[in-house]
Amino acid sequence: MPIYRFTFSLMHHICSIYSIQLSKMHDIHTGWRVVSCMTRLLTAVLLQALWLDLLHRLKWTVSFFPQAILNHSRRTTQGMLPDFPLLNVFGFGCYTLSALLFLYSSAIRDQYAVRHPHSPEPTVRFNDLAFGTIAFLMSIVCYSQFYPRLWGWEHKPNVPRHALRITLALISGGLLALCVVFAIISAGSNGNDATKWSWIDLVYCMEYVKLAFTIFKYIPQTISNFRRKSTLGWSITQQLLDFTGGVLSLCQLIIDSSLQNDWSGLSGNPLKFGLANISLVFDIIFILQHFVLFGPVEETTNVKVSENVAEGTGNRLRDEREPLLRNPDSG
């Protein structure tokens, strides 16, 4: 891992500095102070990197639960469009598969080392695979909630259950791109020559497909919220957790690349870098919609209006059932 390799490299430099200082008898105390300061700095950097990695994965993973929980508590997906979870299913399928190959495929790892000789180890970790797997499964759960009979919910005709045509076209385009890259690699060579079209290009294609899905998946819901002037049915907790995870992920990726002393780690992992930035932008938009533009009180207002309408309708029905002329004998 990058942190471990950096640790050994830094310890080597520390020992070199200490040896130089030790050769000067009058500077032994100075040398020891340098070693002590650098050791404390090393410990702080390592702990910060590990904590950032743990926290951003935890935040991102937990962020996929609030929307499904909200839908289940309301027993409806009203207010949410199916495009978001559907694109997540395909997108995180690509994300999980690419992380799996970067971690456990020797051919992919060797090709990555050839493409990035200064940082031969991918910046993909087991946490990425675990996160992708959970996100993929929770996206399936969330999308299945658009079929209320599977969950025993009441069928409501005004709830959208079909994705937009442009969403379906985007998914078809992503699958077509993967097929084209696969065909090029298969026709050109055995796919093991990293200097030509190779299997790592198919993995990169998966990452770019996921990136394209991420760019688009927020747009329909953003427009829907603006048209409805409401964030009802859309979990703001999900966006707050995602925003926190995105900030921590970006910091952790920058630290990893700096520890390797090679910033090509950012270009070598475009999915992780691009995903964090795109998510942050849309998270800010959703947060502004909920807390500034429309206000968090809109949900309460809508509920009260619905209750008043229902109560008024019930009173009107009771009035219509009453006779126009009362029987005088009835009192």
pLDDT of 16-37, one tens digit each? 555 555 555 455 555 556 555 6
Single-letter residue type at 277 = N
Count CA within 13 A, CB hemisphere, residue 176: 6
Q: Residue 304 pLDDT more than 90?
A: no
Q: What pLDDT is recorded for position 9?
A: 58
Angle at which helices 236-259 and 66-74 cross, to 10°: 170
Total-model pTM: 0.73
Place 110 in a pLDDT band, splitting at 50, 70 and 90: very high
Share of the chain above pLDDT 70, in %: 66
Q: Which of 45, 48, 39, 30 is nearest to 11 (CA)?
A: 39
Q: What pLDDT is recorded for position 59?
A: 77
CA 5: distance to chain centroid?
Answer: 28
Q: Residue 303 pLDDT more than 50?
A: no
Mean pLDDT computed over 65-83: 95
Q: How far is CA 33 from CA 9, 20, 39, 313, in A?
A: 19, 13, 10, 81
Place 217 in a pLDDT band, splitting at 50, 70 and 90: very high
Q: What pLDDT is recorded for position 194?
A: 73
Residue 54's CB is within 10 A of a number of other CB atoms, namely 13
Q: Which carries the bigger pLDDT value, residue 98 or residue 258?
A: 98
Task: For the chain, give the number of residues.
Answer: 331
CB pairs under 8 A, 24+ apart, for 250-256?
Answer: 250/276, 250/277, 250/280, 251/52, 251/56, 252/49, 252/52, 252/53, 252/56, 253/123, 255/45, 255/48, 255/49, 255/52, 256/2, 256/3, 256/49, 256/123
Mean pLDDT computed over 152-181: 94
Mean pLDDT computed over 153-182: 94
Q: How far is CA 46 from CA 42, 55, 130, in A?
A: 6, 14, 22
Q: Which carries the bigger pLDDT value, residue 192 or residue 73?
A: 73
Q: What pLDDT is recorded for position 320?
A: 44
Q: Which carries the bigger pLDDT value, residue 169 or residue 276?
A: 169
Q: Residue 53 pLDDT more than 80?
A: no
Residue 217's CB is within 10 A of a number of other CB atoms, namely 22
Q: Residue 96 pLDDT more than 60?
A: yes
Q: Are 131 and 100 in contact (CB under 8 A)?
A: no
Q: Residue 189 pLDDT more than 50?
A: yes
Separation between Cα atoms, residue 189 and residue 193, nearest integer Å = 8
